[in-house]
Amino acid sequence: MALQIEHIDAVHNIEGICALPGLDIVFVGPYDLSGTMGLMGQVTHPEVEAAMARVVRAAQDAGVVPGLLIVDPKPGEVAQRVAEGFRFISIGLDTKMLIDAAREMATRR
């Protein structure tokens, strides 16, 4: 079973969440999380980073895999997140990929 952690209330209760029987993965959605923290879209803000680090620590302590969504990875970002302890990383959003592809096709000559 995998649960998404997309609200600061989930972070505040992450130790209890990670103790749920049958839980395999806690997957952080940083954009939604940042929004619930009053920091919409600021996924690298120190407070958002601290919240994500708390999820990683709690997951590791409970033997649960910590996961993360990276919408548009910058060079080295995936390796950085792996070094931070994330073990399940999803890259990209279907809607962004479609928009980017459509934009690219529209600008072809």
pLDDT tens profile 18-77: 999 999 999 999 999 999 999 999 999 999 999 999 999 999 999 999 999 998 889 999
Q: What is the pLDDT of residue 27?
A: 96
Q: What is the pLDDT of residue 92?
A: 81
Q: What is the pLDDT of residue 99?
A: 86
Q: What's the structural domain count of the chain?
A: 1
- For 30-87, give the DSSP string: HHHHHHHTT-TT-TTSHHHHHHHHHHHHHHHHHT-EEEEEESSPPTTHHHHHHHHT--
Q: Is 88's pLDDT higher than 80?
A: yes
| Paired tokens of 73 | 């990875």
Tell me the residue range of the domain where 89 lies.
2-106
Q: Is 94's pLDDT higher than 80?
A: no
Q: What is the CATH number of the domain that holds 65?
A: 3.20.20.60
